[in-house]
Amino acid sequence: MRVVVAEDVMLTREGITRLLTDSGIDVVGQAGDVAALLHAVRTTQPDAAIVDIRMPPTHTDEGLVAAQQIRTEQPGVSVLILSQYIEPHYAMRLLEDHPERTGYLLKERVFDVAVLIDALRRLADGETVVDPTIVARLIARKRTADPLDQLTEREREVLALIAEGLSNRAIAARLFVTERTVEAHVKQIFQKLSLSTDPDSHRRVLAVLAHLRTT
């Protein structure tokens, strides 16, 4: 797998690069700002770009903007946003235009090499990646009349994995059940929560996140 790493703090950038290299992943480009990132992606045609959300010059949301640009211009390149913010707003903004092959992970998680590799593989498979911390926070959100109360324990587990961006097959593998069982759970959950989105589409991640946020 060929990857470009964009991160303005050199220590972090090199740490990530080293982890990836050690795991046999080919880091074909490193960038300290958006322009260098876009240039590296255009010239090296990587499988994925790992992008810090906050980069020069304004240190606000350059990473998000760049991610959307990459996904639009080169649909074959996955983008994994790294952030220090547990901020569903950013994650949802990222997924709005291109739900597949995009991911939002908390930065400290990438040093767990297994998590990083797993995220990159899932993106390569066309899945979405949303940091479990964000999903957990949204599920734990205090609600007046909690629609999640109608769900069984297993259904809630499946709901969380949907929100993290896993496909039915991945959920089945994670929960040690058949894919058909997962499909049944998903149908149940969407019915109980009155979600109208196609449960099999990539849009389902955003629909679930939005639902969790507004109830």
CA distance 140 to 24: 37
Taking the complex as a whole, the smallest distance from the CB of residue 87 to another protein amounts, in Å, to: 5
Candidate list 56, 96, 125, 143; residue touching another protein; CB under 8 A: 143
C-beta of 111 vs 150, nearer to another protein: 111
Q: What are the distances in angstroms from CA 7 to CA 23, 54, 118, 208, 210?
A: 19, 8, 20, 30, 29
Asked whether 47 and 59 are in contact (CB, 8 A), the reply is: no
User: Hey, CA dihedral for 23, 2, 202, 96, is it positive or negative?
Assistant: positive
Candidate list 26, 43, 45, 59; residue touching another protein; CB under 8 A: 59
User: Interacting stretch for another protein, rule CB under 8 A, among 24-32, 33-41, 87-95, 152-160?
Assistant: 87-95
Residue 112 near another protein by CB under 8 A: yes
Site for another protein in 174-213 (CB under 8 A): 213
C-beta of 85 vs 179, nearer to another protein: 85
C-beta of 117 vs 175, nearer to another protein: 117
Taking the complex as a whole, the smallest distance from the CB of residue 215 to another protein amounts, in Å, to: 9
C-beta of 176 vs 194, nearer to another protein: 194
CB atoms closer than 10 angstroms to residue 132: 16
Residue 86 near another protein by CB under 8 A: yes
User: Interacting stretch for another protein, rule CB under 8 A, among 34-42, 136-144, 190-198, 201-209?
Assistant: 136-144
Candidate list 60, 150, 152, 191; residue touching another protein; CB under 8 A: 60
CA distance 132 to 1: 24
Asked whether 81 and 119 are in contact (CB, 8 A), the reply is: no
Give the gyration radius of the chain's Cα atoms. Answer: 17
Burial environment of residue 32 by CB neighbours within 10 A (0 to 12, 13 to 18, 19 or more): middle
Residue 54 near another protein by CB under 8 A: yes
Tokens of 11: 């220590």
Q: Within its chain, how far is the Cα of 32 from the centroid?
A: 22
Site residues (vs another protein, CB under 8 A): 9, 11-12, 15, 54, 59-61, 84-90, 107-108, 111-112, 137-138, 141-144, 213
